[in-house]
Amino acid sequence: MNRHRTITLLLLVALLATGIWGYDQYRQKNNYQVYLQNQYHRMFYELIDHVETIEADLAKTMVADSPRQNQLLFSDVWRQAFSAQEKLNQLPISHLTLSNTSKFLTQVGDYGYSITRKNADGTPVSSEDWSNLEELHNYAGYLTVELQKLRNAIQENNIGLASLAREGGHIFARASDNMPHREFTRIEQEMVDYPTLIYDGPFSEHIQDIAPKGLTGKNIDYQRAEQVAREFLKGMDIRSIKKIGDGNGDIKTFGLEVLTGDDNRIYMDISRKGGHVVWMLNQRDVSSVNTSPSRATELAKKFLEQNGYEDMTPTYSMRYDNISVINFAYLDGEVVVYTDLIKVKVALDNGEIMGFEAEGYLKAHHKRDLPEPKLTRDEAGERISMRMDSDGEARLALIPLENKDEVLCYEFKGSFGGDDFLVYINALTGKEERILKLLRSENGTLTI
């Protein structure tokens, strides 16, 4: 009798242990799916940014009069198209479904590259080229609008892109039930008729990304990554931290999930070299607004200083879903270094830091020996268009060029025809290096 009781007890213990192990495996799988979801959504939003920039650049070519400006714009079309295709290929959507969109991005990038070469050789853009560019601009505009609609629908319906990867081919049999796949298929059908292009160069990859310059320190292990996460989130009630994946991009990272005392989850990537926080995302809902945008900026700046990011100056900001997203650039003396960028998200209900992204800073930041301007502010101001209204005020800024070089410029603000612009005049040569259009709305300001 005792032997039977012992066996029964052992079986119960084994069953309980199996149940606990199964639940833990289930929980880990769900946590990884959340992490994967964040990565897919990030890729999708970056894809939209690249396509929006392509459309804006093509629009600018229609009104630009300087061959040099056109060369810069077409070079950017090439770069943005390559980056957009890279993001598109990482989405968990059938490559067959995306073939026309991918082909469009390839060819619009190649076309921009071929015209850049023509400009370099002194060959003017032909009327046929302009006709093709106008059609490409129209299709880029269509693609931009449709991707924005899809983004809004995904947000409103709380659709997870990770489900497409998880369910694999089975989900495509239910296309009518799956909005992202269905909408991409519809977009694809509209992209079939864009013009077939003949250009003088084969598809060429963009300049290879340079090795990150801001990653300082020795390689770390996971235990150190966990310590970095705790230091970065100091003041928070942290219940547990666990590793949920590895990042193997330009910056190799440990992926972490942080569980707080109120059952909220925070996701982070910590660089394996130096132990720098590459990005952090807090997913809690923010349902009210009790903090002003200016106060949010103050809190974001204080957060950066507490984590060792000194001399950062706020540039532009936007508001999404009761969260303020503030862009900061490194300030080298009086020069705004636009390549060294950090984004901070602040909850407008209580001022909590909800997100942090320093990939741009970690790739570009290093000690620079900046040259002295050879032109005065007034001399540079004489180089901007007489058609643009400007008060002549300007600040020094270091901006990136397409060949990865950086150039010191005066940044002038002005307006024309109801639109606001930023014009960058080379502080050494007086050349007009870049023109950005400012998009202002009740939610903030963006540049394109």
Model-level pTM?
Answer: 0.57
Which of 135 and 394 is assigned the larger pLDDT?
A: 394
Average pLDDT over residues 224-251: 87
Which of 35-39, 316-320, 435-439 has the weakest average pLDDT? 35-39
Domain boundary among 249, 284, 319: 284
CATH number, domain with residue 389: 3.10.450
The answer to whether residues 253 and 297 belong to one domain is no
The answer to whether residues 175 and 45 belong to one domain is yes
Check if the beta carbon of residue 260 is closer than 8 Å to that of residue 354: no
Question: In the predicted model, is pLDDT for residue 185 greater than 60?
Answer: no
The answer to whether residues 75 and 174 belong to one domain is yes
Average pLDDT over residues 266-289: 88
The answer to whether residues 41 and 174 belong to one domain is yes
Domain contains 172: yes
Domain contains 14: no
Q: Would the CA dihedral through 373, 301, 305, 34 be positive or negative?
A: negative
C-alpha span between 415 and 315 (Å, rounded): 18
Domain contains 401: yes
Tokens 């970056």 belong to 46
Domain contains 143: yes
Confidence of residue 93 (pLDDT cuts 50, 70, 90): low
Question: In the predicted model, is pLDDT for residue 377 greater than 50?
Answer: yes
Which of 153-167, 229-243, 307-321 has the weakest average pLDDT? 153-167
The tokens for 240 are: 């547990």
Domain contains 163: yes
Domain boundary among 231, 262, 284: 284
Confidence of residue 401 (pLDDT cuts 50, 70, 90): confident
Angle at 74 between CA 64 and CA 131, to 5 degrees: 70
Domain contains 5: no
Average pLDDT over residues 75-98: 73
Check if the beta carbon of residue 252 is closer than 8 Å to that of residue 246: yes
Question: In the predicted model, is pLDDT for residue 119 greater than 80?
Answer: no
Domain boundary among 335, 367, 399: 367
pLDDT digits (tens, 9 = 90+) for 214-230: 888 899 999 999 999 99
Question: In the predicted model, is pLDDT for residue 82 greater than 70?
Answer: yes
Average pLDDT over residues 159-164: 59
The answer to whether residues 332 and 223 belong to one domain is no
The answer to whether residues 245 and 167 belong to one domain is no
Average pLDDT over residues 33-58: 79
The answer to whether residues 275 and 316 belong to one domain is no
Question: In the predicted model, is pLDDT for residue 202 greater than 50?
Answer: no
The answer to whether residues 347 and 436 belong to one domain is no
pLDDT digits (tens, 9 = 90+) for 333-350: 999 998 888 989 999 999
The answer to whether residues 180 and 65 belong to one domain is yes
Q: Write the burial class of residue 445 (CB in 10 Å: 0-12 exposed, 13-18 middle, 19+ buried).
A: middle
C-alpha span between 113 and 107 (Å, rounded): 10
The answer to whether residues 75 and 122 belong to one domain is yes
Mark out the alpha helices in 122-247 (DSSP H runs).
127-157, 162-167, 179-191, 222-232
Which of 151 and 48 is assigned the larger pLDDT?
A: 48
Report the domain count for the chain. Answer: 4
β-sheet bridge partners, residue 412:
394, 423
The answer to whether residues 33 and 82 belong to one domain is yes
Domain contains 100: yes
Confidence of residue 3 (pLDDT cuts 50, 70, 90): low
Domain contains 204: no
The answer to whether residues 219 and 153 belong to one domain is no
C-alpha span between 137 and 128 (Å, rounded): 14
Structural domain boundaries enclosing 399:
377-447
CATH number, domain with residue 242: 3.10.450.40
